[in-house]
Amino acid sequence: MSLVKYLTSRTFFTQVAIAISIVVVFTFLVVQLLDFRTNHGQEIKVPDLSKMKLEIADEKLKELNLEVFLLDTVEFNSDFPPFSILEQDPKAGSSVKDGRKVYVKLNAGEFTDITIPEFKDKTFRQISATVKALTLKEGKLTYKPHIAKDVVLQIYQNGRRLRAGDKVKKNSVLDFVLGDGKEIFNEDTFSSEEPSDTLPPSEEVKPIEFKEDNGGI
């Protein structure tokens, strides 16, 4: 049989049809297999891992065929337990495929240390700006006789005298002893140093707004 006759014969077309059918069936089976392995059309909702310990979150995700991946430890947040999950990606409630990694960030164990700056011969207004920049909080203001008005004489934290270079935890509350500006110059009282390391009894006042006309700087 010549080639031309074979290519136009029923036998040739039958074999072509069989070959096409085999390819179609094979392709269908491959697609079904891929769908099965990737859980096509099946999605898992990411649980809320907030405030969980990493070990507990890992167990919870494994039950859902998901995986936890620690990215970093971030600055301490007092609203979350120490070393608990503070952030996650994807967010809680998101729909993901089986085997997806959930990236998390942990809360630090405590606030970082802040170094008390040099405050000698500085006014409360000057030191107050520095205190806020260091993420510390202003507490009580008390006044004592001193020639310089509103100059910072001492700083205390929970009744403990602080000096330049001492360390406190971020977000700590600091109390200030300021000069009242009413003292006439006296060598014995001009110094800002106090022999005692405990907060002396003095009149407590609320923070005031510094203005040019009341002697503030």
What are the tens digits of pLDDT across the range 95-128? 999 889 999 999 998 888 999 989 888 999 988 8
Q: Kindly report the pTM of this predicted structure.
A: 0.53
Q: State the pLDDT confidence band at 81, using cuts at 50, 70 and 90.
A: very high
Average pLDDT over residues 76-83: 92
57 phi/psi in degrees, rounded to 5? -65, -40
Token pair, residue 12, equals: 């040739």
- CA neighbor of 176 nearest in space, from 104, 123, 99: 123
Specify the pairing of strand 137-144 against strand 101-107.
Answer: unpaired
Kindly report the number of other CB atoms within 10 A of residue 172's CB atom: 20
Q: What is the pLDDT of residue 98?
A: 86
